[in-house]
């Protein structure tokens, strides 16, 4: 008999949910993570009494009541609403695009005026069937908003011009003809009081966790410990990149503590011009309505992923999707291994979806 029922690779949200449910069902679990901390990319650490989102802003939002009730077992959530602003060479605009944005851009006051302005710009651009992101954006919000608030930002984010990006990336762009600046159209949203690390800690309560362990480096020995493996790392790395490396976008953070109580007046400010090298600045205290005397900010720089970097966003274009389909065949044929999460499935997941999928997978496992 092996020492554990499940060896769970990755102490992020997917791994923590799986471990929590499996332990509750009486299964013996060992969770490994090569980082020196739990909670994966949602890890928060205290600096000057502020919970800093070390790997970028994470705002929980969902329409799934069951998932909302699930996370509320482990944390009490505040009422934070994501209302980012865009800074274009010092001009400030509301995001998502709404009547505030249209009024600032064109001086329009009614939804009918805003729609007429967008329609006129779309007609002038002559776009009928958008073939790329630029054409899709212009058809949704017109040329002015595209030029000021989308073109530079998206180019920085993806490291390629909008004319080379597929239209689908921006199809779900929120455009509202109301004065509502709540970015997520979700029934439930907020940030856990005390940060995400404390929430994941509660999920993993009573589960054995080993940090600073590189599973792939010690795979042969580690696999002997458990009946099954739940793997949430990069799927191509698991197979030694034998079919080639999948592409990701990575993010570099420059974080500093400032001797002021309020740097930018908002948690998220996007810098949408092409000349500013970073994509946005996060001021962490505003996620929890902090009143500390100092503040902590993080500038985010988007970058092409290379081995050794942290992979953040899968580049789900045709070429990478085809390559992942081949890796998925290998994964499906791998005995005793469940592949899950953003890296294991090469898929961008919001946090609520990660939880939903993990609960579904572990439910089937334990049935």
**Residues with active-site annotation:** 172, 176, 249, 280, 300, 348, 350
Which DSSP letter does residue 227 get? E
Extract the tokens encoding 103.
Answer: 């009024």
Beta carbons of 236 and 245 less than 8 angstroms apart: yes
Q: How many CA atoms lie within 13 A of 21 on its CB side?
A: 20
β-strand partners of 4: 226
Q: What is d(CA 10, CA 341) in angstroms, rounded to the nearest whole number?
A: 10
Q: What is d(CA 174, CA 155) in angstroms, rounded to the nearest whole number?
A: 19
Q: Break the chain down into helix, strand, coil percent, rounded to 5.
A: 40, 20, 40
- Alpha-helical runs (H) found in 48-132: 65-71, 99-106, 111-125
Distances, alpha carbon 136 to alpha carbons 129, 154, 166, 167, 173, in Å:
8, 13, 9, 5, 10
Q: How many CA atoms lie within 13 A of 127 on its CB side?
A: 22
Distances, alpha carbon 33 to alpha carbons 53, 115, 200, 206, 348, in Å:
18, 50, 13, 16, 20
Extract the tokens encoding 20.
Answer: 């929590």
């Amino acid at each position: 008999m092996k020492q554990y029922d499940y060896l769970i690779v990755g102490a992020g949200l997917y791994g923590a949910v799986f471990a929590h449910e499996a332990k509750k069902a009486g299964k013996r679990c060992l969770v490994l993570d090569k980082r020196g901390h739990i909670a994966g990319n949602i890890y928060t650490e205290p600096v000057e009494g502020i919970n800093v989102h070390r790997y970028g802003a994470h705002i929980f939002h969902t329409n799934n009541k069951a998932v909302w009730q699930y996370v509320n077992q482990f944390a009490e959530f505040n009422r934070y609403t994501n209302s980012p602003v865009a800074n274009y060479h010092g001009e400030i605009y509301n995001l998502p695009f709404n009547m505030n944005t249209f009024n600032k851009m064109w001086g329009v006051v009614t939804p009918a005026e805003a729609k007429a302005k967008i329609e006129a710009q779309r007609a002038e651009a002559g776009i009928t069937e958008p073939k790329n992101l630029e054409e899709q954006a212009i058809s949704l919000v017109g040329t002015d908003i595209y030029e000021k608030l989308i073109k530079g930002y998206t180019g920085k984010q993806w490291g390629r011009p909008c004319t080379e990006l597929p239209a689908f990336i921006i199809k779900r762009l929120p455009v509202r003809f109301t004065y509502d600046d709540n970015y997520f159209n979700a029934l439930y949203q907020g940030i856990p009081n005390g940060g995400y690390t404390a929430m994941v800690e509660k999920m993993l309560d009573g589960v054995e966790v080993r940090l600073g362990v590189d599973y792939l480096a010690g795979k042969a020995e580690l696999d002997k410990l458990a009946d099954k493996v739940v793997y949430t790392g990069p799927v191509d790395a698991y197979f030694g990149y034998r079919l080639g490396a999948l592409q990701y976008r990575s993010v570099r953070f420059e974080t500093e503590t400032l001797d002021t109580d309020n740097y930018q007046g908002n948690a998220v400010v996007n810098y949408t011009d092409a000349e500013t090298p970073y994509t946005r600045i996060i001021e962490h205290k505003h996620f929890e309505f902090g009143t500390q005397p100092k503040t902590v900010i993080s500038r985010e720089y988007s970058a092409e992923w290379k081995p050794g970097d942290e992979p953040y966003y899968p580049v789900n274009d045709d070429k990478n999707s085809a390559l992942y389909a081949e890796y998925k065949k290998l994964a499906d044929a791998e005995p005793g291994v469940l592949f899950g999460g953003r890296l294991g499935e090469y898929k961008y997941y919001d946090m609520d979806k990660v939880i939903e999928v993990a609960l579904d997978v572990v439910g089937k496992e334990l049935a």
